[in-house]
């Protein structure tokens, strides 16, 4: 039976993916420095073997034959998602993939080298080559899928996402944020004038911060029989669903960055840990996509772990680990003032939840124009600066390092990825609203540190669904309606414009 051949084929792909995931996590957390060259060689070889195996022409025959075999519903769903991925993988020729790998790797290396000085002139030609290839890729993907070029690029990260649906959502969000942001900043200024920010009394030893992080992960619902926490330069959530490798990074000056990083990655980790275990080697049992994944990390980090309910419970646990003096004379408003501080800034990854979408919308708009050739690479700095002025009243003139040279995505050839961050933030807010409707007592449970109902809801509605539906279909099934920016906007209003936070 061809289905069985595909089953063995998926086991092999899963074996290689398992190896690549653990090797990648090990590289970032454990590998001695001299192991890098051979590790890169081994991982490149395994990736090449994976691509060769996954895109082999006889797989198409197996798919065709399996479609006429007697399959149950789950097998059919698996075959459907497998076919979708196979088409995505094979619409680029091996020659094109090799060319893209070389050009984007060279551009990424150049980016690492030239970013510190913001040397745009040295960087732009290499980026130009990457953009030219991305245009070619979008065209190839478009022809294969029947989608518009930029939609075909997004389809890789969030199946079902279309600019036609996202444009009005982002447009509404942009208008609302332009109106909200000055109000939020004014309200914050007033609050801080009445009640100045209390200083955090570090240093906080890393060992103690780690213990605190572990305690919060455990409380929030991370399963330590299927995962662990390590340290790395860039926090990530990797590994495999039965062995999730999560990292954070600490600074002794402040415990909040490490802790919020832990909570963000815990959200990702729970999604992986909660995926269907049966036939885990078939792709319909993987996570849906980048936007949905980000919704799970932001559900924990933003919706849960920056809320007054959460901190009413968490302050005691934090004090237990860091010492009573850490919150001496504080109430919940004092810690919320720290975790929900809003500030305009140039750097996307440092942005708070109010300003973050502006960074994404800027990139989303520019990406579309780059792919459609409306925007030339040489004009990026000027357009970036204009948009930063318009959206966040900031200038990146003569500061390219903190402007269009700040992200790895474009040098790496990842176009169509950025919108997922903000789509995830909006999804999380909408999921939170749906959950509150389904679980009317949830806020009082959170205040007691009881996250069991909250996690069960996520498991039933999201994690266990794997990749059985497209991103918009899944959102509809979770919340009963299509993605609607009003939930996120309402969330920001409640959190940042309601005068009294404590009760």
Binding site for a second copy (CB under 8 A): 11-12, 14-16, 18-19, 22-23, 26, 30-35, 37-39, 41-43, 45-46, 49, 223-228, 240-243, 280
At closest approach, how far in Å is the CB of 74 from a second copy?
19
Q: Looking at beta carbons only, is 228 or 348 nearer to a second copy?
A: 228
* Type and span of the H or E element at 49: helix 36-54
The pair phi, psi for residue 97, each rounded to 5°, is -60, -40
Q: Looking at beta carbons only, is 242 or 319 nearer to a second copy?
A: 242
At closest approach, how far in Å is the CB of 45 from a second copy?
3
Q: Dump the DSSP string for 418-431.
A: THHHHHHHHHHHHH
As a whole number of angstroms, the distance between CA 371 and CA 84 comes to 23
Instruction: Provide the greatest CA pair distance for the chain.
Output: 73
Helices (H), 308-418: 308-322, 332-339, 356-371, 380-392
Which of 322, 288, 310 lies closest to 444, judged by CA? 310
Q: Looking at beta carbons only, is 41 or 477 nearer to a second copy?
A: 41
Sign of CA dihedral 338, 339, 340, 346: positive
SS3 readout for 188-205: HHHHHHHCCCCCCCCCCC
At closest approach, how far in Å is the CB of 377 from a second copy?
36
Q: Looking at beta carbons only, is 33 or 193 nearer to a second copy?
A: 33
Strand order in the sheet with 243-248: 227-231, 243-248, 237-240
Q: Looking at beta carbons only, is 16 or 208 nearer to a second copy?
A: 16
**Residue 367 DSSP code:** H
As a whole number of angstroms, the distance between CA 331 and CA 333 comes to 6
The pair phi, psi for residue 136, each rounded to 5°, is -60, -45
User: Strand 227-231 relative to strand 243-248: parallel, antiparallel, unpaired?
Assistant: parallel
At closest approach, how far in Å is the CB of 270 from a second copy?
14
Q: Looking at beta carbons only, is 16 or 408 nearer to a second copy?
A: 16
At closest approach, how far in Å is the CB of 15 from a second copy?
3
At closest approach, how far in Å is the CB of 225 from a second copy?
4
At closest approach, how far in Å is the CB of 43 from a second copy?
8
Q: Looking at beta carbons only, is 49 or 349 nearer to a second copy?
A: 49
At closest approach, how far in Å is the CB of 271 from a second copy?
16
Judge residue 223's burial from the number of C-beta atoms within 10 Å of its C-beta, 0-12 exposed, 13-18 middle, 19 or more buried: middle
Annotated catalytic residue within 81, 129, 137, 265: 265
Contact 18, 236 (CB under 8 A): no
Among this protein's residues, is 265 annotated catalytic?
yes
At closest approach, how far in Å is the CB of 214 from a second copy?
13
As a whole number of angstroms, the distance between CA 184 and CA 496 comes to 6
**Residue 10 DSSP code:** H
At a CB cut-off of 8 Å and minimum separation 6, what does 38 contact?
A: none
As a whole number of angstroms, the distance between CA 302 and CA 495 comes to 11
Q: Looking at beta carbons only, is 245 or 458 nearer to a second copy?
A: 245
Q: Looking at beta carbons only, is 18 or 135 nearer to a second copy?
A: 18
* Type and span of the H or E element at 293: helix 290-298
Contact 358, 343 (CB under 8 A): no
Q: Dump the DSSP string for 443-496.
A: HHHHHTT--HHHHHHHHHHTGGGTTSS-HHHHHHHHHSS---THHHHHHHHHHH
As a whole number of angstroms, the distance between CA 262 and CA 259 comes to 5
R_g over Cα of the chain: 23
At closest approach, how far in Å is the CB of 55 from a second copy?
16
Q: Looking at beta carbons only, is 46 or 339 nearer to a second copy?
A: 46
Active site residues: 265
């Amino acid at each position: 039976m061809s289905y069985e051949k595909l089953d063995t084929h998926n086991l092999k792909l899963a074996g290689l993916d398992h190896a690549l995931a653990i090797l990648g996590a090990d590289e970032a957390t454990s590998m001695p420095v001299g192991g890098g060259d051979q590790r890169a060689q081994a991982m490149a070889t395994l990736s090449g073997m994976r691509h060769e195996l996954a895109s082999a022409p006889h797989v198409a025959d197996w798919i065709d034959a399996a479609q006429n075999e007697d399959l149950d519903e789950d097998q059919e769903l698996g075959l459907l998602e497998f076919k979708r991925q196979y088409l995505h993988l094979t619409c680029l020729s091996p020659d094109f993939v090799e060319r893209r790998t070389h050009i984007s790797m060279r551009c990424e290396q150049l980016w690492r080298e030239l970013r510190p000085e913001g040397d745009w002139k040295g960087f732009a030609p290499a980026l130009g080559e990457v953009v030219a290839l991305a245009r070619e890729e979008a065209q190839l993907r478009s022809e294969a899928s029947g989608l518009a070029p930029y939609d075909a690029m997004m389809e890789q990260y969030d199946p079902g996402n279309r600019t036609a649906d996202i444009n009005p959502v982002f447009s509404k969000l942009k208008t609302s944020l332009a109106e909200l942001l000055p109000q939020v900043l004014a309200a914050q200024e007033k609050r801080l004038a009445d009640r100045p920010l209390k200083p955090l009394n570090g240093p906080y030893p890393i060992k103690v911060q780690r213990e605190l992080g572990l305690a919060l992960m455990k409380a929030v619902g991370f399963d330590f029989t299927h995962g662990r926490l390590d340290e790395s330069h860039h926090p990530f959530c990797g590994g495999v669903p039965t062995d999730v490798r999560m990292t954070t990074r600490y600074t002794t000056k402040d415990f909040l960055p490490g802790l919020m990083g832990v909570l963000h990655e815990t959200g990702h980790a729970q999604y992986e840990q909660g995926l269907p275990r049966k036939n885990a080697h078939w792709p319909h049992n993987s996570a849906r996509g980048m936007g949905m994944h980000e919704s799970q990390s932001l559900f924990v980090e933003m919706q849960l772990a920056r809320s007054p309910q959460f901190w009413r419970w968490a302050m005691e646990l934090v004090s237990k680990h860091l010492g009573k003096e850490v919150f001496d004379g504080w109430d919940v408003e004092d810690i919320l003032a720290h975790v929900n501080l809003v500030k305009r800034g140039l750097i996307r990854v440092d942005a708070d939840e109010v300003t973050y979408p502006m960074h994404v919308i800027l990139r989303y708009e520019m990406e579309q124009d780059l792919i459609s050739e409306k925007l030339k690479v040489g004009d990026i700095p000027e357009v970036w600066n204009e948009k930063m002025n318009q959206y966040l009243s900031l200038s990146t003139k003569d500061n390219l390092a903190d402007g269009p040279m700040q992200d790895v995505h474009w040098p790496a050839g990842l176009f169509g990825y950025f919108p997922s961050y903000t789509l995830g933030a909006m999804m999380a807010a909408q999921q939170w609203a749906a959950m509150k409707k389904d679980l009317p007592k949830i806020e009082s449970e959170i205040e007691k540190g009881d996250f069991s109902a909250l996690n069960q809801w996520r498991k039933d509605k999201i994690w266990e669904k794997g990749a059985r539906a497209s991103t918009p279909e899944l959102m509809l099934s979770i919340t009963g309606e299509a993605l609607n920016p009003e939930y996120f906007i309402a969330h920001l209003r409640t959190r940042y414009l309601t005068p009294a936070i404590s009760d």
